[in-house]
Structure 1
């Protein structure tokens, strides 16, 4: 096999971005699309020239000409299609969070252990080159033992009204930094405490502030604000500091890494995660899909984006949300 034929299940805004990424990779073929929304299926099928269109993912999974699936449904609709795809022998790229409950995450992990195909969880920040460089430095012992970490992952209010009616900022975004912190330390989180703030009266709060304690003694704070002012010129304000006994690493992926001034205002668009270049997506999402595809074609199990890691990050962020609701420290 030199090309992976992949279908996308779930065609919301990020499912469409997955399609835009897949079409730019030479060893991936966008072979099928699936959504329950008929007009959306027709529109994206026509746009990407995909003939195989399904409204039931089970019909897609029954197609022997489909080698892999990308699952971009809502996080509380991951479990059934992920397990069904693994049982059907497909390779599975499952967007984060792995599931909406720890129980469902464990079900998916268990299914992956019995599956012929690979399961990769889309924790995209591990493919941001700044974090990869930080991981190399940590593994080389350049900053000694990690004792403290802090992160910021804030986005403009215009992005989030629809999202906040589906998922909150801690599980929705702080899960990225949680995953990175678990990756950098190679440790386990033993307690979580969080506070949230409701600014706009949506289903989930706009702001999450989280604290973790790790088994080895390290502490961490995570800031997630989903209501930066409408005129904020950048798409994301993303930072992380890692303090060790022998040194410090600081990561910054925010304004002004690219500034564009037009007749409207100053813009600083994302050029790291999924920038659009000549009709297809580049950046970390392209690297993520390339890694998934190479693993599937070569028959190697992923060592990044493994389901056990994704389950640990989910458990920690759900514990933080529980803490925010109750006001108590949640201990593992």
Structure 2
């Protein structure tokens, strides 16, 4: 089996998660890392014993013999870094969201096709064992014909300050967690075309930190007649939720990713690196990385790179999600259902569609 030599771009939480996942996989190793911060670069490379480190991804692409890179950076850097990697002939694992504009998405897709490399869209919910089992049951007809999927992704707020910034994040909770729910629903139903989107959003808890949305409710209508009701929030106090309910004509499936592992604990002071998040009653993971699908995701992507086969989650899927998120912002801004395909106005960040309507409303009020 060919060993996939990986370059890691970024040194934050999700880069660390990918390093943990890859360390478990035979036939793959992280051999190079880049970060513009000297301190972060040194600590990250020492922690993961990465032999080559670079301050700039272009130096890494030119100097290191790589088969693939993982782009685990702030959202606004996804497209330029991915395009540089594609131009250098590298396969790419690109964290969500794919990028900030549909033009960038099209450029990534076209460039990868021309270079003959893969761009894999890192949507780990499609690899979560519990959710994979849900899909297996759905596909076998265990609950009849599915007519609606409900999915929830919520917590108290992001782990890094850049998530609050329009230029770097491109949007609030929709771009951070709503993208998970959207692709989960598409994947579970077999990726039928979304024909209409309705969304409602607000800033209910974090207006002191951001003008972007921290709470969103989305309704998707598929060409099959099926529907999805999705909730994403940075305003959930007391922990995190990742829950799905799948409703069929002959049954229903309930799946709780984070609180259904059979472990329940009360800790008066909390524990671990972030005790505030688990003080009181909590549901400790016994195998967080595997339960959340990260090793399975990366293993699948590497297998596709070896065989040249299309990944389960590709740049095309990331583009579909991005178009739906643009439609969500337009729906919330205009107070109406948006039909797809949707061509957004020329904005630098998806959330600007909604923010512009808020600013006009304040000026008129």
Q: What CA distance in whole angstroms lies between the structure 2 residues aligned with 1:59 and 1:178?
A: 35
Residue 329 (1) aligns with residue 318 (2)? no
Alignment of 1:1-332 (within 5 A): 2-63=2-63, 65-157=65-157, 159=159, 163-165=163-165, 166=169, 167-186=171-190, 187-198=192-203, 199-201=205-207, 202-229=210-237, 232=238, 234=239, 236-255=240-259, 257=261, 258-264=263-269, 265-270=280-285, 274=289, 283-297=292-306, 299-332=307-340
8 A contact 2:151–2:185 mirrored in 1:
no
CA drift at 1:158: 7.0
Structure 1's unaligned 5+ residue stretches are 276-281
- C-alpha displacement of 1:285: 0.7
Q: Distance in 1 between matches of 2:219 and 2:339?
A: 12
Distance across 1 between alignment mates of 2:336 and 2:284: 38
CA apart distance, 1:160: 7.2
Q: Secondary structure at the match of 2:92?
A: strand
SS in 2 for 1:117: coil
Q: Secondary structure at the match of 2:63?
A: coil
* Shift of residue 318, structure 1, vs aligned partner: 2.1
Cα drift, residue 38 of structure 1: 1.6
Summarize the Cα distance change of 1:161–1:64 in structure 2 as closer, same or farther, 3 Å threshold: closer
**Matched residues in 2 for 1:269 and 1:159: separation?**
19
Indicate the residue corresponding to 1:278 in structure 2.
Answer: none
- Give the RMSD, CA atoms, in angstroms: 2.2
SS at match of 1:5: strand
Cα drift, residue 50 of structure 1: 1.9
| Offset, 1:326 | 2.6
How many residues are treated as equivalent by the alignment?
A: 321
Larger mean Cα displacement after TM superposition, 182-191 or 260-269: 260-269
Q: Residues 219 and 158 from structure 1, CA distance in 2 versus in 1: closer, same or farther, beyond 3 angstroms?
A: closer
TM superposition score normalised by structure 1: 0.88
Call closer, same or farther: CA 1:102–1:272 in 2, change over 3 Å: farther
SS of equivalent residue, structure 1 residue 77: helix
Over 3 Å counting, the alpha-carbon distance change for 1:211 and 1:66 in structure 2 is same
Q: CA deviation at 1:80?
A: 1.6
Deviation at 1:112, TM superposition (A): 2.1
Contact map agreement 2:174 2:213 (CA 8 A) in 1: no
Closer, same or farther: CA 256–93 of 1 in aligned 2, 3 Å: same
Change (3 A) 1:221 1:110: same
CA distance in 1: counterparts of 2:58 and 2:189, whole angstroms = 39
What is the TM-score when the length of structure 2 is the normalising length? 0.81
Return the offset for 1:270: 4.8
Offset from partner CA, 1:284-322 (integer Å, 9 cap, x none): 11111111222223x232331122122112211221122
Per-residue CA shift, 1:21-60, capped at 9, x if unaligned? 2223232211011111122112212222223111221111
CA–CA separation in structure 2 for the residues paired with 1:155 and 1:272: 20
With over 3 angstroms needed to count, the CA separation of the structure-2 counterparts of 1:176 and 1:129, relative to structure 1, is same
* SS of residue in 2 equivalent to 1:317: helix
Distance of aligned partners of 1:217 and 1:307 in 2 relative to their CA distance in 1, 3 Å threshold: same
Q: Separation in 2 of the partners of 1:88 and 1:26?
A: 25
Displacement of 1:263 after TM fit? Answer: 4.5
CA distance, structure 2, for counterparts of residue 295 and residue 14 of structure 1? 21
Distance in 2 (CA, whole Å) between partners of 1:159 and 1:73 is 14
Partner of 1:224, secondary structure, is: strand
- The answer to whether the Cα contact below 8 Å between 2:300 and 2:311 also exists between their aligned partners in 1 is no
